A = this chain, B = another copy of it.
């Protein structure tokens, strides 16, 4: 197990809080190389109207082009969905540190089946952030995980 960097995880939590404070979904991420924070990101569905901008995607986008990710660790406040798990697999990120998986199970088994090391911290602050958000904005959350009722208008924007 790699040494966990609390500063990088805290940067992901801070990004999640920043997203919540600007009306968005409180999921944050951080990318670290050799123990050094390289980039952060947070879910931008609300702020940018971009359904692909989950926290992990926004973070990897912010880091820009890299020749390899095999020496990186990705921190995320919530268990990665299929899109983000697929991204971790595609980019060959070897280790993912997950704040919590109690409010959304994510695709941790898919990650492990492809050889990704998954460390779940069971961080109560991350779970509380998500619980507060899910209560306050259930439709935005349902939209983000593709479970909005189908009788909604097709085009939200």
Majority SS of interface residues in chain A? loop
- A23 CB, nearest partner CB in chain B, Å: 14
Contact of A61 (CB < 8 Å), options: B50, B65, B156: B50
User: Are A51 and B60 in contact (CB-based, < 8 A)?
Assistant: yes
Contact of A52 (CB < 8 Å), options: B49, B61, B82, B154: B61
Chain B residues within 8 Å of A107, by CB:
86
Binds B, one of A2-10, A95-103, A123-131, A144-152: A144-152
Give the A interface residue count (CB, 8 A). Answer: 44
User: Are B71 and A82 in contact (CB-based, < 8 A)?
Assistant: no
- Determine the distance from Cα of A71 to Cα of B150 in the docked complex, in whole angstroms: 10
- The answer to whether residues A67 and B153 also contact, given A51-B91, A86-B107 and a CB cut-off of 8 A, is yes
List residues of chain A with CB under 8 Å of any chain B CB.
33, 45, 49-53, 57, 60-61, 63-71, 81-87, 89-92, 107, 114, 143, 145-146, 148-150, 152-157
